[in-house]
């Protein structure tokens, strides 16, 4: 493992930041150089007993470096969504949101205690209907990974183990035959639900995760006493090495062989229950057990953990070679034998009563950039779509012993507890589309690092962080300028020279580019575009279309920057410029310089034309890929754009009027259900449609019962809205919401707006009162260090603070669109 890592490091060169030269504008360029003349990674697969085909002859295979689909390298983009934590009547809308965000695999837990709360009585109805959920994923062309446990964690009571299991004469999470007999019954039940849904049957289930963090972590038993230390849900032989949450585990487990055997037994039970899939995974971080050569050991990275005593600055924004050196190493397996497949990248985090980390949404795409640049050939987001933990017949299923909210599982995720689409969703979309569209190029590429990579510390926010992935002189340059819990510095006038086997690519060739604080980029070099050799671009690849008469590529530039594209000169290449484009040619290349904002030019290679669209990141964040009349198109809007077959829907929160732009230009007619449409006639690159619906206006009726209790009267109906969000702007300790005296929603205050989607409660909630009970925050509360300084209460006059500033509604409109 270390020999290859040292070879890559030894083959690189970085020139000191102290060295620079004056460019023609009098600016001092900061020059970096990296030698990417490295041997390609060795690819082999005979040792792995995985893979499969479906009735159409399509295959999913895995080697030691990447996955392939029907012979083509494939980067899975996995989003975690727990079906049992969300109302089943809205599952399909959520699946469509995930697809719109660039997810191609949905991962979901099957929590044992939710399905068998009472021993011997399994429930698969309502929000527990696994079969229905899988069918909806298949309907929307989404693959599924099912995480079958028996232990899941997922911030569920006992980590998903039923309470009654504690009262049975057996040793949990062990090879005890009595325990395994219960697991076999669970797997048989899950197998019955999954029958006919597997990839081999033509279905969407391509993967099974066995257990979770086995011989690494556990959850506390929910049956406990106040003040009692946590009693972990682990076999007694593993208790001394069991830790809270995800972390590094340096100590070798003397019972590791038993753990390896246990994982093999679980796989045999899964196969016996019919769970025959191309891919099996096991959480392999921190010396956890896997099924050697029969499961992919997936990795994790959480930059804002709630299980640590205080904030810590993570290493997860520094480039490394993850194929040789996984996060949370040491590990129990040989890393070079498996692809680097992070399945739990912390896109958000939960809050517990004593710790309330605030996750910056910029961290999401920054971490994914770092992982891809570090050799990851899969991305998995935990959580991607959050929800609400259900209540059982006897107790809340939430992990109350760990100090979590009784219901809320918002996780600050890209898609919130009530389906809210957040900044992180938009940011990840750019990474996801890049990995989907160009994963066949990226996956086989070798990681190359600058020589200071092994000594660069997370606290160092001044040195440039970058890496290269390369194969056959073509590749991608990755740069990241984000660090959790620290503010990095703007880095202007950067120039990076990449030495390949054929030449030296200098990005950019004469001037420099700027990395803004908190941002990240991926620049291509020697990219083949329909016969043209793009030497480099100072814009990030986003997507492409090869269908229709005019193929196009879309690149994303940093806001306020002038992107440039250098094409190798050839006899058959010409560039057709448009307004805002300038050309500079010499005997070796054609340099295309784009003005700020949106621009387009055409590359013509011997009569074959390809349009290049360049958009700024702020616009790209509003983009959605759709199909209009068989044409792969981009739509840009403040609204969330979803598609099902030919029907496109727009969801607009808080705005009854919004604009949609379409690229390439659509010259037909747009009809909108129950909405007015005004098409704008202009000479821009895109079609423009202005859409409006009648405005929904409603001020909440609020009354106060003492200092801590507030009552909100809910409207008689949602009046055709897609949802109605109740917003509570307050400072306090905790908030709890009741309907008909039953707790239905709760929150731990952390300085952010509490938003509750009401549609899940209708029609039963019509005209009813929702009663809120708040508790004040106390001076010296353990979580105050997590709260932003601007949001911390002033305790100079009072030692307890409760302030309910404003309660309001935000309507979410839905408009169905039809292009004719």
Per residue in 394-410, pLDDT (tens digit) is 999 999 999 999 999 99
User: What integer pLDDT is reported at residue 322 of this predicted model?
Assistant: 98
Percent of the chain's residues with pLDDT above 90: 93
What's residue 550's pLDDT? 87
Percent of the chain with pLDDT over 70: 97
Q: What is the pLDDT of residues 337-351, one digit of tens each?
A: 999 999 999 999 999
Q: How far apart are CA 279 and CA 50, in angstroms?
A: 6
Q: Give the model's pLDDT for residue 431.
A: 98
Question: What stretches of 664-741 adopt beta strand conformation (E)?
Answer: 670-672, 676-680, 687-692, 701-705, 709-713, 723-731, 734-739
> Which residues 6+ apart lie within 8 Å of 259 measured at CB?
214, 215, 238, 253, 289
Can you tell me the distance from the alpha carbon of 664 to that of 613, in angstroms, rounded to the nearest whole number?
10
Q: Which residue has the higher pLDDT, 550 or 355?
A: 355
pLDDT at 653: 98
Q: How far apart are CA 478 and CA 454, in angstroms?
A: 17
Mapped onto helix, strand or coil, the DSSP state of residue 113 is helix
Domain covering 2-41+457-620, topology:
beta-galactosidase, domain 2 (2.102.20)
Q: Are 385 and 90 in contact (CB under 8 A)?
A: no
What CA–CA distance (Å, rounded) separates 494 from 282? Answer: 41
Please tell me the distance from the alpha carbon of residue 648 to that of residue 641, in angstroms, as a whole number: 7
Q: Are 118 and 105 in contact (CB under 8 A)?
A: no
pLDDT higher than 90, residue 24 = no
Q: What is the C-alpha to C-alpha distance for residues 589 and 59, in angstroms, rounded to an integer?
A: 41
Q: Where is 263: in which H helix or E strand? A: helix 256-272
Say if residue 2's pLDDT is above 60. no
DSSP string, 597-632: S-EEEEEEETTEEEEEEEEEHHHHTTEEEEEETTEE
Q: Which pLDDT tens digit goes with each residue over 625-663?
A: 999 999 999 999 999 999 998 899 999 999 999 999 999
Q: Facing residues of 60 across strands?
A: 52, 69
ω before 508 within 30° of 0 (cis)? Answer: yes
Encode pLDDT of 283-340 as tens digits.
999 999 999 999 999 999 999 999 999 999 999 999 999 999 999 999 999 999 999 9
pLDDT confidence bin for 250, thresholds 50/70/90: very high
Residue 684: predicted pLDDT: 85
Is the pLDDT at 726 greater than 80? The verdict is yes
Nearest to 262 by CA among 168, 190, 173, 334: 173
pLDDT value, residue 549: 78
pLDDT bin (cut points 50, 70, 90) of residue 235 is: very high
Q: Measure Cα distances from 300 to 247, 314, 333, 347, 410 in Å.
A: 9, 12, 15, 11, 19
H or E, element range at 209: strand 205-209
CATH architecture of structural domain 52-440: Alpha-Beta Barrel (3.20)
In whole angstroms, how far apart are CA 672 and each of 257, 642, 814, 815?
62, 14, 10, 6
pLDDT at residue 12 greater than cutoff 70: no
Q: What angle do CA 175, 177, 181 make, to 5 degrees?
A: 110
pLDDT of residue 28: 87
> What pLDDT band is residue 23 in, cutting at 50, 70 and 90?
low
Over residues 428-443, the mean pLDDT reads 98
Q: Who has greater pLDDT, 525 or 607?
A: 525
DSSP string, 353-416: SS------THHHHHHHHHHHHTT---EEEEEEE-EEPPB-SSSBSB-GGGT--SSEE-TT-SB-
Reported as a single tens digit per residue, the pLDDT across 189-199 is 999 999 999 99
CA neighbours closer than 13 Å in the CB half-sphere of residue 154: 31
Cα angle value 730/733/735 (rounded, 5°): 65
Q: How far apart are CA 486 and CA 59, in angstroms?
A: 44
Residue 522 contacts residue 478 (beta carbons within 8 Å) = yes
Do 475 and 36 touch, CB atoms closer than 8 A?
yes
Q: Is the pLDDT confidence value at 707 over 80? A: yes
Calpha distance 363→367 (Å, rounded)? 6
d(CA 158, CA 180): 17
For the CA atoms of 243, 246, 249, 253, the dihedral, rounded to the nearest 10 degrees, stands at 60
Backbone angles phi, psi at 127, to 5 degrees: -75, 0
Q: Which among 525, 591, 519, 611 is positioned nearest to 558, based on CA atoms?
A: 519
Element (H or E) spanning 192, and its range? helix 177-194
Residue 27's pLDDT is 63
Q: Does the structure show a pLDDT above 70 at 224?
A: yes
> Residue written as tokens 């938003």?
755
Question: pLDDT tens for residues 679-704?
Answer: 987 778 999 999 999 999 999 999 99
pLDDT band with cut points at 50, 70 and 90 for residue 3: very low
- Among residues 390, 373, 474, the alpha carbon closest in space to that of 155 is found at 390
Rounded (5°) CA angle 661-667-668: 100
The average pLDDT across 112-141 equals 98
Q: Which residues pair with 812 in a beta bridge?
A: 653, 723
Mean pLDDT score across all residues of the chain: 95
Beta bridge partners of 592: 565, 583
Which pairing describes strands 573-576 and 599-605: parallel, antiparallel, or unpaired?
antiparallel
Domains of the chain, residue spans: 2-41+457-620, 52-440, 626-692, 701-819
Q: 747, 754, 749: which is closest to 793 by C-alpha?
A: 749
What SS3 state is found at 235?
Answer: coil
**Using one digit for the tens of pLDDT, what is the confidence trace for 775-810?**
999 999 999 999 999 999 999 999 999 999 999 999
The pLDDT, as a whole number, for residue 20 is 46
Tally of CB atoms within 10 A around 683: 5
Per-residue pLDDT of 43-99, as tens digits, reads: 999 999 999 999 999 999 999 999 999 999 999 999 999 999 999 999 999 999 999
Beta strands in 740-793 (DSSP E): 742-748, 754-757, 769-775, 777-778
Residue 15 has pLDDT above 80, yes or no: no
Q: How does residue 470 score in pLDDT terms, banded at 50, 70 and 90? A: very high
| pTM of the model as a whole | 0.96
Q: Is 153 helix (H, G, I), strand (E, B) or coil?
A: coil
- Does the pLDDT at position 571 exceed 90? no
Closest Cα to residue 408, out of 387, 382, 393? 387
Residue 243 pLDDT greater than 80, yes or no: yes
Structural domain 701-819, CATH architecture: Sandwich (2.60)
C-alpha distances in angstroms, 748 versus 306, 350, 776?
Answer: 13, 10, 11
């Amino acid at each position: 493992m270390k020999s290859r890592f040292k070879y890559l490091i030894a083959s690189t060169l970085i020139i000191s930041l102290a060295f620079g030269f004056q460019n023609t504008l009098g600016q001092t360029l900061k020059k970096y150089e990296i030698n990417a003349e490295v041997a390609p990674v060795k690819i082999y697969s005979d040792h792995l007993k995985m893979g499969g085909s479906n009735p159409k002859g399509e295959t999913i295979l895995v080697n030691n470096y990447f996955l392939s689909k029907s012979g083509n390298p494939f980067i899975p983009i996995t989003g975690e969504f727990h079906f049992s934590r969300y109302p089943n009547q809205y599952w399909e809308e959520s699946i469509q949101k995930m697809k719109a965000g660039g997810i191609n695999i949905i991962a979901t837990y099957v929590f044992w205690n939710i399905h068998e709360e009472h021993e011997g009585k399994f429930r698969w109805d309502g929000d527990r209907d696994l079969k229905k959920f899988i069918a909806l994923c298949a309907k929307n062309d989404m693959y599924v990974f099912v995480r079958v446990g028996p232990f899941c964690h997922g911030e569920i009571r006992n980590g998903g183990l039923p309470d009654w299991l504690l009262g049975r004469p057996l040793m949990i999470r062990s090879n005890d035959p009595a325990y395994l007999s219960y697991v076999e019954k669970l797997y048989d039940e899950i197998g019955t639900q999954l029958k006919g849904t597997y990839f081999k049957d033509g279905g969407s289930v391509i993967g099974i995760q066995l257990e979770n963090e086995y011989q690494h972590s556990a959850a506390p038993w929910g049956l406990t006493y106040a003040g009692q230390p946590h009693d972990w849900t682990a076999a007694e032989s593993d208790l001394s090495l069991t830790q809270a949450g995800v972390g590094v585990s340096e100590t070798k487990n003397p019972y590791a062989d038993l753990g390896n055997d246990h994982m093999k037994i679980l796989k045999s039970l899964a196969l016996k229950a019919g769970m025959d899939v191309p891919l099996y995974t096991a959480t392999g971080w921190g010396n956890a057990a896997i099924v050697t050569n029969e499961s992919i050991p997936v990795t994790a990275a959480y930059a804002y953990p709630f299980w640590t005593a205080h904030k810590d600055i993570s290493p997860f924004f520094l480039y490394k070679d993850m194929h040789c050196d996984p996060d949370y190493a040491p590990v129990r397996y040989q890393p070079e034998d498996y692809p680097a497949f992070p399945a739990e990248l912390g896109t958000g985090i939960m809050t517990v009563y004593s710790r309330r980390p605030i996750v910056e949404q910029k961290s999401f795409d920054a971490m994914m950039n770092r992982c891809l640049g570090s050799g990851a050939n899969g991305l998995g987001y935990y959580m991607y779509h959050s929800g609400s933990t259900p209540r059982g017949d006897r107790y809340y299923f939430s992990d109350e012993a760990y100090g979590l909210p009784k219901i809320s599982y918002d996780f600050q995720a890209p898609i919130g507890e009530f389906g809210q689409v957040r900044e992180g969703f938009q940011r990840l979309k750019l990474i996801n589309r890049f990995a989907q569209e160009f994963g066949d190029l990226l996956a086989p590429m070798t990681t190359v690092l600058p020589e200071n990579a092994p000594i660069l510390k997370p606290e160092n926010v001044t040195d440039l962080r970058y890496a290269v992935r390369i194969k056959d002189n073509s590749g991608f340059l990755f740069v990241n300028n984000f660090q959790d819990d620290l503010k990095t510095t703007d880095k202007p006038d950067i120039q990076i020279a990449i030495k390949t086997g054929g030449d030296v690519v200098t990005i950019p060739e004469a001037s420099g580019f700027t990395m803004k604080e908190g941002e990240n980029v991926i620049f291509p070099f020697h990219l083949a575009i329909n016969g043209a050799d793009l030497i480099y671009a100072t814009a990030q690849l986003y997507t492409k279309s090869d269908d229709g008469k005019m193929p196009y590529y879309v690149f994303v530039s940093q806001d306020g920057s002038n992107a440039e594209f250098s094409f190798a000169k050839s006899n058959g290449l010409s560039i057709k410029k448009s307004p805002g484009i300038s050309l500079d040619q010499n005997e070796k290349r054609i340099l295309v310089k784009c003005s700020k904002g949106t621009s387009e030019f055409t590359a013509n290679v011997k009569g074959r034309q390809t349009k290049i669209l360049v958009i700024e990141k702020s616009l790209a964040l509003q983009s959605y890929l759709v199909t209009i009349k068989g044409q792969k198109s981009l739509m840009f809007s403040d609204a969330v754009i979803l598609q099902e077959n030919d029907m496109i829907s727009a969801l607009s929160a808080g705005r009854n009027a919004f604009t949609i732009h379409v690229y390439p230009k659509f010259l037909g007619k747009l009809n909108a259900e129950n909405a007015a449409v005004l098409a704008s006639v202009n000479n821009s690159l895109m079609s423009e449609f202005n859409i409006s619906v009648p405005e929904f206006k409603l001020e909440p009726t609020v009354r106060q019962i003492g200092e801590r209790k507030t009552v909100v009267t809910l409207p008689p109906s949602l009046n055709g809205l897609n949802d109605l969000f109740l917003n509570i702007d307050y400072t306090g300790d905790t908030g709890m919401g009741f309907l008909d005296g039953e707790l239905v929603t709760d929150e731990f205050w952390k300085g952010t707006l509490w938003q509750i989607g009401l549609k899940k409660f209708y029609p039963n909630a019509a005209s009813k009162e929702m009663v809120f009970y708040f508790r004040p925050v106390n001076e010296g509360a353990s979580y105050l260090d997590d709260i932003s300084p601007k949001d911390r209460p002033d305790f100079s006059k009072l030692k307890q603070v409760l302030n309910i500033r404003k309660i309001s509604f935000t309507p979410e409109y839905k408009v169905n669109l039809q292009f004719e």
